[in-house]
Structure 1
Amino acid sequence: MMTEKKEKTRELIIDISYTLFAKNGFNKITMKDICDATNMSRGGLYSHFSSTREIFEVILEKLNQKDEMNFYEEMKKSIPAIEIMNRALALMENEMKHPEDSLSLAMYEYSGSVDSNLMQHFNKIGEKKWTALIKYGVERGEFCNVNADELVNVILYAYQGVRMWSRIIPMTPDVFKSITNHIKNQLIKEKISNGIKN
């Protein structure tokens, strides 16, 4: 069983490494960079993690477990689909506004530099989750009867594309709003004259 001190040290390494990966991508970060940023010796760091790949994979797993868009739990509670969607899209919009916190570039580099199906695994989780929400909303009569596969592609890849490109070119909040509004327009039956039903 891991001691409390060791667990805290691991969490510190993970938190600081997240910032380094978000800022610089995956390929540029070395174990020495993480040693410098955490003020740890190489031996100290290697007693917790064997490589930057291992640290990055732990970060991805933690993000997946922490997922703030837990549609399944909300659907079990019969929360309206529109309410779940609005909350999820607001969270996505907020994340798109903060490219400095994005791991998109690091994930892209990671997937191209290692032989791993981890990214495909996470993508499948996102596809299943959004497909389930759309079908739930259609069954409840809250959403239009859209092609779920097509719309899920738009949701996932427009979001990731903006997260990546906002690291390269400046984007205004209007860009982020246009994406979430497009998704809402595809799903929500009832429109109001000045925008989208909330």
Structure 2
Amino acid sequence: MGEKSVQKRKYIIDKARTVFSEKGFKNVTMKDIVDACEISRGGLYLYFSSTEELFLSVLSDDIGGDDEEAVLAAVSGNATAGDMLALFLKEQKKEILRKKNNLTVATYEYFTLHKAAVSDNPLKRQFDTAVRIVEKLIETGAQSGEFYCENPLGCARNLMYVVEGLKITAGTIGVTEEAIDKELMYVLEGLVPDELNN
């Protein structure tokens, strides 16, 4: 694919992201994408054959694999596990509060309608990656005495279930920044040793 084609494909994906974030998955048609991109139907079909193919491309574009390596590299540096966990959760909070181009509702619609094999589900891969990041941060913090946790994997999963629940809540009924902070702090308070809480 030439440079011009690569740029056109990226343009279509960027415009489609906005359409999917506004309308969800099931209500989007190829005509919606054609209109948003201001291209011909044939021009769109040169790159994508269906809204499903396009949506999966949008998701693949959004779900990066470098986060885990970046966090693990940072942990091996000067930052404490607590600092890194706070930074990770700050990024999650931004994603929860993001109104524009938020694909949460569309993503859950898609995977409700299309029961993809578990190994093919990019949402599951993203969740599992986040759990591994949090688990590593909790383990590192527990080793340094910053945290107390007998089950880092269970705690990491619990924290990410809370984050995912907040994403859905934000995209459906709404959630305040204060409510997000309270829910995340409730989970994190369980990690701090009692002597540091007093």
TM-score, normalization by structure 2: 0.85
Q: Secondary structure at the match of 1:16?
A: helix
CA gap of 1:140–1:191, structure 2 versus 1, over 3 A, is: closer
Note if 1:158 corresponds to 2:157.
no
Partner of 1:196: none
Partner of 1:53: 52
The question of whether the paired residues in 1 share the 8 Å contact of 2:34 and 2:44 is answered with yes
Note if 1:114 corresponds to 2:114.
yes
CA gap of 1:73–1:30, structure 2 versus 1, over 3 A, is: farther
Q: Secondary structure at the match of 2:92?
A: helix
Deviation larger for 19-28 or 159-168: 159-168
CA distance in 2, matches of 1:156, 1:132: 13
Q: Secondary structure at the match of 1:28?
A: coil
The question of whether the paired residues in 1 share the 8 Å contact of 2:26 and 2:109 is answered with yes
Partner of 1:26: 25
Deviation larger for 76-85 or 33-42: 76-85
Gaps of 5+ in 2: none
Gaps of 5+ in 1: 194-198
**Offset from partner CA, 1:98-124 (integer Å, 9 cap, x none):** 244321111111112224231333322
Cα deviation for residue 192 of structure 1 reads 6.5
Partner of 2:95: 95
1:187 alignment partner AA = L
Cα deviation for residue 62 of structure 1 reads 2.1
CA gap of 1:63–1:81, structure 2 versus 1, over 3 A, is: same
TM-score, normalization by structure 1: 0.85
The question of whether the paired residues in 1 share the 8 Å contact of 2:105 and 2:172 is answered with no
CA gap of 1:77–1:59, structure 2 versus 1, over 3 A, is: farther
Partner of 2:5: 6
1:74 alignment partner AA = A
Aligned CA RMSD, in angstroms, stands at 2.2
Query: Which of the pair is proportionally richer in helix?
Result: 2
Deviation larger for 9-18 or 174-183: 174-183
Taking every aligned residue pair, what percent have the same amino acid on both sides?
A: 28
1:130 alignment partner AA = V
CA gap of 1:5–1:77, structure 2 versus 1, over 3 A, is: same
Alignment of 1:1-198 (within 5 A): 2-65=1-64, 70-77=70-77, 79-116=79-116, 117-118=120-121, 119-189=123-193, 191=196
The question of whether the paired residues in 2 share the 8 Å contact of 1:100 and 1:167 is answered with no
Deviation larger for 104-113 or 132-141: 132-141
Query: Number of paired residues?
Result: 192
CA distance in 2, matches of 1:112, 1:57: 14
1:151 alignment partner AA = C
CA gap of 1:115–1:167, structure 2 versus 1, over 3 A, is: closer
CA distance in 2, matches of 1:81, 1:58: 33
